[in-house]
Amino acid sequence: MIQVTVAEAQKRLPELLALVETGESVEIHPESGESFVLVHKPKPKHDSGAAAWPGYPKAGSLKGKIWMSDDFDEPLEEFREYME
């Protein structure tokens, strides 16, 4: 982990960001005594064929898991008097 002051980070920002992209982490120490860490978190790719994204179901993924009765569209006996 690279440790720098705020002034040094301002001077070397492009270089430090390039290091962070390669996986290195950079810790910045301001005069207040706190510290901040820069790390690279790549965005996940989400295309329609990506199996790595479980949040996007593929077409046909529920085939055979949903069942509907043959008389699904027929009127219900309970409502027959309202329909006449």
Cα–Cα distance measured from residue 39 to residue 34, given in angstroms and rounded to the nearest whole number: 17
**Token pair in block for residue 40:** 């690279």
pLDDT tens digits, one per residue of 16-31: 999 999 989 999 999 8
CATH number of 1-41: 3.40.1620.10
Neighbours of 24 (CB within 10 A): 14
Q: How far, in Å, CA of 6 to CA of 28, rounded? A: 6
Domain boundaries, given as residue ranges, for the chain = 1-41
Residue bearing the bigger pLDDT, 29 or 48 = 29
Would you place residue 75 in the very low, low, confident or very high pLDDT band (cuts 50, 70, 90)? confident
Give the separation between CA 27 and CA 12, rounded to whole angstroms.
Answer: 13
